[in-house]
Structure 1
């Protein structure tokens, strides 16, 4: 990590700045794209609350006064099946020009420490099933695959979620 990089909690005023980074991240994702109209503003408001929220958090990496990356997540007291609370890392992003210098690693370590300091008994991060690079990244922090999430999407209101898929089991 650049010796001039500071990792700290987001300030309320930085929500829109980090939301713009979120939008960049979405556009860099293989099946992603820009956020829908109003999406960046909504995410900015959500991230602004992470400055003071007792469960949600957002940590930023700052170089020369500019936010160059972030990690966000939350504590979740869940449904009681896992030892509470569950610590979740939701997104981690570093702008391309600052990658490869340890900033992402520093953000990840700071997020995991933040969650553990607040009593997280289990830590969880989700990655796309076909993103082997992200999976390998988090495995270096001790994470291992333990669940698989299957998703079914209603493509732009097509009614796909209402239909009984061909071949669905009876009963």
Structure 2
């Protein structure tokens, strides 16, 4: 059966939360476990999904194989700002359940996001990936995303002594 990508509705909230929660557990939970709340879905998942669906500047896509939800994508528009006077779109999260990967559903989700962003006047589409998640970086590069910036974190602020330079 062909994979179908649809704009999510309120009827999809539980599937959005489940897919986003699976992403958090396997991505942030793996690459940034000390700064990840693995219980977020129970506490705030419904409010998160509801707010996304209510916003004209947000997109939630659901990938389906028949009636089964096999993944999701969340995106948001941003800008223009005073320093960066362009309209952009950020791919906030994407997840395809492991048993459904390699069949083009991730690419379909991203292409849906790119079309949505272009229709809203975005001049740039961006996405972040953990530095150690080489598979995600290869996936995004294959779809035309290029390295533009690097985020450096320092996680010892509560017990760190000032550094002398």
Q: Same fold (TM over 0.5)?
A: yes
Partner residue in 1 for 2:31: 31
Q: CA deviation at 1:54?
A: 0.7
Q: CA deviation at 1:129?
A: 1.3
Stretches of structure 1 lacking an aligned partner (at least 5 in a row)? 154-159
**TM-score normalised according to structure 1 size:** 0.82
Residue of structure 1 aligned with 2:119, choices 109, 117, 121: 117
Pairing of 1:78-117 with structure 2 (within 5 A): 78-117=80-119
Tell me if the contact between 2:80 and 2:86 (Cα under 8 Å) persists in the aligned partners.
yes
CA distance in 1: counterparts of 2:92 and 2:75, whole angstroms: 5
Pairing of 1:17-96 with structure 2 (within 5 A): 17-29=15-27, 30-31=30-31, 35-37=37-39, 39-41=40-42, 42-96=44-98
1:77/1:12 CA distance change after superposition, 3 Å:
same
Length, aligned pairs only: 160
Q: CA deviation at 1:149?
A: 0.6
Greater relative contact order (Cα 8 A, min sep 6): structure 1 or 2? 2
Q: CA deviation at 1:65?
A: 2.1
- For residues 44-98 of structure 1, the C-alpha deviation after alignment (integer angstroms, 9 at most, x for no partner) is 3222332341111111112222221111110011533334211100111111121
1:168/1:26 CA distance change after superposition, 3 Å:
farther
CA distance in 1: counterparts of 2:97 and 2:132, whole angstroms: 22
**Which region of structure 1 is more displaced relative to structure 2, 74-83 or 121-130?**
74-83
Q: Secondary structure at the match of 1:130?
A: coil
Q: Secondary structure at the match of 2:53?
A: coil
Stretches of structure 2 lacking an aligned partner (at least 5 in a row)? none
Higher helix proportion (structure 1 or 2): 2
Q: What RMSD, in angstroms, separates the aligned Cα atoms of the two structures?
A: 2.2
